[in-house]
Amino acid sequence: MPPMDGSARPYRLVVAPAPELAEQLAEQVLAERLASRPQPLGLATGATMEPFYAALSRRVAALSEEQQQRLRQTWCSFNLDEYVGLGPEDPESFTATMARLLRTPLGLDHACVHCPDGLADDPVAEARRYRLSLAAAGGLGLQLLGLGRNGHVGFNEPPCGPEAGTRLIDLTAATREQNAFAFAGQASAVPGQAITLGLAEILSARQLVLLVTGAAKAEILARALRQPPTADVPASWLQRHPDLLVLADPAAAAGLL
Ligand code: GLP
């Protein structure tokens, strides 16, 4: 959709109710996965993404058996991040979350749904392994992104420049507070570190889709997209990407229109 005010924005913006955005994203991801020679898909977790995974599961269940099989045979996704210290047996880990929201409903092999290993003895080496394994798979095609309330994407916490690579990172108090909902409301139970894809790898994806919903994200979304890129708002570097699609519900888009 072209900007309604006629300005030349460096991104495309679609404003629609959240359930419609989830359907649109599911349609786009499915078309991408069923295309010939699909590139690795970059996936995100977080509450914002859950309706998308539900929509994707519904759409896949409605496909023919042949298409479902093709999807399973060619699936390759890389998640943005994982908490250090949590493994597949921990329901709050992103690996377990992806099993619940994606792997089990779609019948995917765990080897093609990549997440950093949060239980690796050496998380720094694990971050390197993850980066190399993504590069060996061909790099990212379509990358889905949510937005942290402090402007992080993946777990690229502020301050963060566009050259930051895949790495071990300390989570900020704000992020641990934001994600406490998944840990019985206890921010202190949220791990203090994570392995995240870097902004460098994210910005190298062929296309970025940023999904943002709810009034609580309106201010940070406007800061990310309306101000010059700054390390204080890591998501603001997304403006430099040549193919950025922003999907926002009316509440989140309030500061953009
Ligand atoms: C999390 C994840 C991000 C996610 C963001 C938004 O911490 N690391 O990948 O996009 O924060 O989360 P939510 O959708 O729950 O607001």
Report which residue type is found at 47: A
Write the DSSP string, 83-119. ETT--TTSTTSHHHHHIIIIIHHHT--GGGEE---TT
Interatomic CA distance for residues 23 and 107, integer angstroms? 20
Q: Give residue 10's pLDDT.
A: 86
Q: Give residue 6's pLDDT.
A: 47
Nearest CA to ligand 1 atom 5: 148
179 lines ligand 1 (CB under 6 A): yes
234 lines ligand 1 (CB under 6 A): no
Which atom belonging to ligand 1 lies closest to the Cα atom of 179?
7
Q: What is the pLDDT along the chain (257 residues), one digit of tens a residue?
A: 444 444 556 899 999 999 999 999 999 999 999 998 999 999 999 999 999 999 999 999 999 999 999 999 999 999 999 999 999 999 999 999 999 999 999 999 999 999 999 999 999 999 999 999 999 999 999 999 999 999 999 999 999 999 999 999 999 999 999 999 999 999 999 999 999 999 999 999 999 999 999 999 999 999 999 999 999 999 999 999 999 999 999 999 999 98
Interatomic CA distance for residues 208 and 13, integer angstroms? 12
Q: Give residue 257's pLDDT.
A: 84
Q: What is the pTM of this model?
A: 0.96
80 lines ligand 1 (CB under 6 A): yes
Q: How far are the Cα atoms of 45, 148, 186, 244 from residue 210, in angstroms, in the given order?
A: 12, 11, 27, 8
Which atom belonging to ligand 1 lies closest to the Cα atom of 80?
9
Q: Give residue 8's pLDDT.
A: 58
143 lines ligand 1 (CB under 6 A): no
